[in-house]
Amino acid sequence: MSFRKLLFLAFGTLIMVSSCGGGAEEDSWRSLLAESDRLAALQQWEPATECALNALSASDLTQGGKSLALSRLASLDIMTWRDAQGWEHALEAERIAREVGADSLVAIALLQKGRLQLCGAITEGEAQDAEALETLQESLSRASGSPDLQADILLQISQAYIGLNRFSDPIDPDIYAKAGSAIDQAVAVSKAPSFPSRALPYWMRWYRQGGNWEAGIACCQKVLEGLKEDDYLMQSQCWNNLVMLYAQAGDVQNAATAHQQYVYAMEYYMRQKADARLQEMETSYETSLKEARIARMRIWVILLIVLTAALVVIIVMFQAYTRSIVASDRGKEQLLRLISKDLTSPGIKESLQEASSTPDKATIRARCRELLGEDDQSMADDIASYISTLAEERDREVKKLGLTARELEVIRLSAEGLSNSAIADRLHVSVYTVKNHKQNIYLKMDVRSNAEMLRAANRLGIA
């Protein structure tokens, strides 16, 4: 394999490793929200919240997507008791949705806003059920064309009506009937096969408020039958409702049993949450260890590639330098052969001096080919390359000395053997000016006499 191919391979590998180190392509906001939904269904609220937050920083996020992600965060905030934060998320989601002009997004944002208003009713003075009902009704009016969304909104509307009767004794029968009607409508509207079972907890609360103990107990038991074995949170809520229903029905023994089951369910739920959190911490720790190992390995690989690339560059540069030395030696040898062909001919020396008087490589090559003729083009190119190198070195030295064009002319005329007065005549200047030029030349070339100046100029190739 050639050095050039090896160099390209080294840099190509470096680029590949660097690109691999950048991490996987960033997920789209839609996939992040879908993952957030999945985690929320498993009641893993914190990971679900993290996915929703990541969706907000996704590179392909649209304004509509931002509104949807904020609404999702508001929903998760409700589940984690962060009502104030959820309220801010819901308001921002509503603002963006109204700017975009998408009714479905406005409906989703208003649904979360209404849910948060329902969460605030701890005492009668803090109740916002009327405001929640107004918000949810506007949400329902904008959710046309989305049956499942309408069904969810209707369930929350039923809770708003139940909330309006929360501090009433006796309850208002018209409001109570509207709460039940909203649940009926939700079941009728939804197309999801599992929705009736989702509506059971809302029926359970409705029955309890209306004093229909038997129907409420039956509803709770039906909910318990349909729950997964490990859904301890919902089990605890059902058993808690059964405690109140049995107590209100006067069945003390079943109320005590339901309370015991409620305690067990809560205990299992807390243990479940602790296990999930521990598993999450273990997974996070293992992931961090793996990422640290990968990072260290990536650093070593990159360092190895950089060192390899540097070594290849050094080898290539050394090879180029060696080639230049060989070419210079060959050019010098060819030049000596040329000069030795006819030492009595002054034309060769003058032509070579004329060729070397310019730093232009093309001009030097043309003059060398002209001097040698068509039969010795290879020899002419070697000599031209050598003379070009000498000319470049001469120009560098001249520039380093800082000699002016007039001073160089004085040096060349001195090399021809002209005296100061002859040089002055040739240049049409005074002898004093020529002497002044020579003093400047002596200082720049660090010499003391005309002879030393000529020796130095001859060594530099400028005489």
pLDDT for 269-284, tens place per residue?
888 878 877 887 888 7
The pLDDT of residue 120:
67
Two tokens, residue 17: 């490793």
pLDDT for 123 beyond 80: no
Question: Left, alpha or beta for 386 (phi > 0: left; psi -120 to 50: alpha)?
Answer: alpha
Question: CA-CA distance, 119 to 141, in Å (whole number)?
Answer: 22
Domain-embedded: residue 52: no
Mean predicted confidence (pLDDT) in 11-37: 62
- In eight-state DSSP terms, residue 122 is S
How many structural domains compose the chain?
Answer: 1
Whether residue 142 contacts residue 111, with contact meaning beta carbons closer than 8 Å, is answered with no
Residue range 389-411, pLDDT digits in tens: 767 777 777 788 888 888 888 98
The pLDDT of residue 196:
74
Beta carbons within 10 angstroms of residue 26's beta carbon: 12
Domain-embedded: residue 447: yes
Question: CA-CA distance, 308 to 312, in Å (whole number)?
Answer: 6
What single string gives the DSSP state of each residue in 312-358? HHHHHHHHHHHHHHHHHHHHHHHHHHHHHH-TT-HHHHHHHHHHHT-
Residue range 380-392, pLDDT digits in tens: 677 777 677 767 7
The pLDDT of residue 202:
87
The pLDDT of residue 377:
64
Q: Which amino acid is at 131?
A: E
**pLDDT-derived band of residue 59, with 50, 70 and 90 as boundaries?**
confident
Percentage with pLDDT > 90 across the chain: 30
Angle in degrees, CA 426, 428, 430, rounded to 5? 110
Mean predicted confidence (pLDDT) in 140-169: 90
Q: Torsion over CA of 349, 351, 356 and 360, rounded to 10 degrees?
A: -170
pLDDT for 148 beyond 70: yes
Residue range 100-116, pLDDT digits in tens: 999 999 999 999 999 99
The pLDDT of residue 402:
85
Element (H, E) at 238: helix 232-249
Whether residue 380 contacts residue 368, with contact meaning beta carbons closer than 8 Å, is answered with yes
Domain-embedded: residue 453: yes
The pLDDT of residue 18:
45
Question: CA-CA distance, 457 to 463, in Å (whole number)?
Answer: 5
Query: Is the model's pTM score more than 0.75?
Result: no
The pLDDT of residue 149:
92
Whether residue 258 contacts residue 221, with contact meaning beta carbons closer than 8 Å, is answered with no
Whether residue 47 contacts residue 39, with contact meaning beta carbons closer than 8 Å, is answered with yes
Please tell me whether residue 449 adopts helix, strand or coil conformation: coil
Angle in degrees, CA 296, 299, 303, rounded to 5? 145
Domain-embedded: residue 7: no
Domain-embedded: residue 418: yes
With a CB cutoff of 8 Å and minimum separation 6, the contacts of 397 are: 460
Q: Which long-range contacts (CB under 8 A, 24 or more apart) does 175-179 make?
A: 176/206, 176/209, 176/210, 179/206, 179/209
Q: How many residues does the chain have?
A: 463
User: How far is the CA of 187 from the CAs of 142, 203, 337, in angstroms?
Assistant: 19, 11, 107
pLDDT for 51 beyond 70: yes
CATH of the domain at 433: 1.10.10.10
Domain-embedded: residue 173: no
Question: CA-CA distance, 60 to 27, in Å (whole number)?
Answer: 9
> What is the distance, to the nearest Å, from the Cα of residue 28 to the centroid of all Cα atoms in its chain?
13
Domain-embedded: residue 428: yes
Which domain range does residue 450 map to?
Answer: 403-463
Beta carbons within 10 angstroms of residue 359's beta carbon: 13
The pLDDT of residue 25:
40
